[in-house]
């Protein structure tokens, strides 16, 4: 067992009063590689935080010089055999169904399973030293957390094929250029930047934040025509359910916001 942290702290959760929860993958001596117990704990942490009223935004990060170097391959059979079918212990499945925004704070290597966890985040902040690497073909591992499908939709199929079939590293600069990463900052500023984004999200209408994330993510799985239909359907449903009093409050809120200075983010 990794002696860098007691077992209960390998997936660490910290909450602050304004509504930000930070999940830290905390096994730095093993570059935050995931054991089966850690995978289960991470999945359950995301599910639990999604259900907490006081949590508005979730940040996922890693301790030390890696975000997550993938699954601990010394226990590969224990992790992979049959486990891909268990959605309750699948952190990516839980992330994809999480109603709240998830920000990935990528301070170092995000390898294979770590890459897939990154792809399940809604927004990514990366350190200049960050690297995204897919090693499935190197070790004979079949992807099951979405890398084979999501990466091509973000950076394009030709680039995705090269990344996955060669095992090449995507640098932070490449990731930003290709639309994978939102921001690149110094390693010491990664978590700070992620929290700044979270704070900007928290200042907005939280009901609409949840609805907007949902319609973007659900629509991304569809072609454009069906995505536009989805938006219209949800928009009509939302407005049909509003009362005259709610429309009045919306107008008052918009007027009050228009007198405030714009965000510096």
* Mean pLDDT taken over the chain: 91
Question: Which residues lie below 8 Å from residue 78, measured CB to CB, with a gap of 6+?
Answer: 36
Q: What residues have CB less than 8 Å from 101, skipping those under 6 apart?
A: 56, 57, 58, 122, 123, 198, 201, 209, 213
> Tell me, what's the pLDDT at 199?
98
3 state DSSP class of 103: strand
Q: Does 264 score more than 60 pLDDT?
A: no
- Tell me what pLDDT residue 259 has: 60
Whether the predicted pLDDT of 170 surpasses 60: yes
Cβ(98)–Cβ(56) under 8 Å? no
Residue 83 confidence (pLDDT): 55
**Stretch 150-172: mean pLDDT, rounded?**
97
Q: What is the share, in percent, of the chain residues with pLDDT greater than 90?
A: 77
Instruction: Give the pLDDT of residue 134.
Output: 97
- Summarize pLDDT for 104-129 with one digit per residue, the tens: 999 999 999 999 999 999 999 999 99
Question: What are the structure tokens assigned to 83, written together?
Answer: 């486990």
Q: Has residue 31 got a pLDDT over 90? A: yes
28: which DSSP letter?
A: G
Put the strands of the sheet holding 169-171 in their side by side order: 66-68, 109-111, 131-133, 169-171
Q: What is the pLDDT of residue 1?
A: 42
Angstrom distance (rounded) from CA 28 to CA 30: 5
- CATH topology (fold) of 7-202: 2-enoyl-CoA Hydratase; Chain A, domain 1 (3.90.226)
The pLDDT assigned to 244 comes to 84
Domain ranges of the chain: 7-202, 206-258
**pLDDT in the model for residue 81:** 64
Residue 3 confidence (pLDDT): 46
In whole angstroms, give the CA distance from residue 249 to residue 245: 6
Asked whether the CA dihedral 151, 90, 132, 125 is positive or negative, the reply is positive
What is d(CA 44, CA 69) in angstroms, rounded to the nearest whole number? 20
3-state SS assignment for residue 24: strand
pLDDT tens, residue by residue, 132-146? 999 999 999 899 899
Share of the chain above pLDDT 70, in %: 89
Is the CB of residue 163 less than 8 Å from the CB of residue 112?
A: no
Q: Which range among 2-6, 14-18, 78-82 has the greatest average pLDDT?
A: 14-18
pLDDT at 87: 83
- The larger pLDDT score, comparing residue 209 to residue 9, is at 209
Q: How far is CA 147 from CA 126, 141, 142, 154, 166, in A?
A: 18, 12, 10, 11, 14
């Amino acid at each position: 067992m990794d002696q860098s942290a007691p077992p209960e702290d390998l997936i660490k959760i910290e909450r602050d009063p304004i509504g930000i929860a930070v999940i830290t993958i905390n096994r730095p001596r093993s570059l935050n590689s995931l054991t089966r117990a850690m995978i289960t704990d991470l999945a359950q942490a995301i599910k639990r935080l999604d259900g907490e009223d006081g949590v508005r935004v979730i940040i996922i990060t890693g301790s030390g010089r890696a975000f997550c170097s993938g699954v601990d391959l010394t226990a590969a059979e224990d992790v992979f055999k049959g486990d891909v079918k268990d959605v309750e212990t699948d952190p990516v499945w839980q992330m994809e169904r999480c109603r709240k925004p998830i920000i990935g704070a990528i301070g170092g290597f995000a390898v294979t399973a770590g890459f897939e966890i990154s792809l399940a985040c809604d927004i990514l902040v990366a350190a200049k030293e960050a690297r995204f690497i897919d090693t499935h073909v190197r070790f004979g591992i079949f992807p099951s957390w979405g890398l084979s499908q999501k990466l091509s939709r973000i950076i394009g199929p030709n680039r995705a094929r090269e990344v996955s079939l060669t095992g090449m590293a995507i640098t932070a600069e490449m990731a930003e250029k290709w639309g994978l990463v939102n921001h690149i900052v110094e390693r010491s500023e990664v978590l700070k930047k992620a929290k700044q984004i979270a704070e900007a999200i928290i200042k907005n209408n939280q009901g609409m934040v949840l609805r907007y994330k949902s319609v973007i993510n659900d629509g991304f799985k569809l072609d454009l025509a069906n995505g536009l239909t989805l938006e219209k359907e949800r928009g009509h449903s939302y407005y049909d359910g509003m009362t005259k009093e709610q429309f009045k409050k919306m107008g008052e809120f918009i007027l009050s916001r228009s007198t405030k200075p714009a965000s510096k983010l």
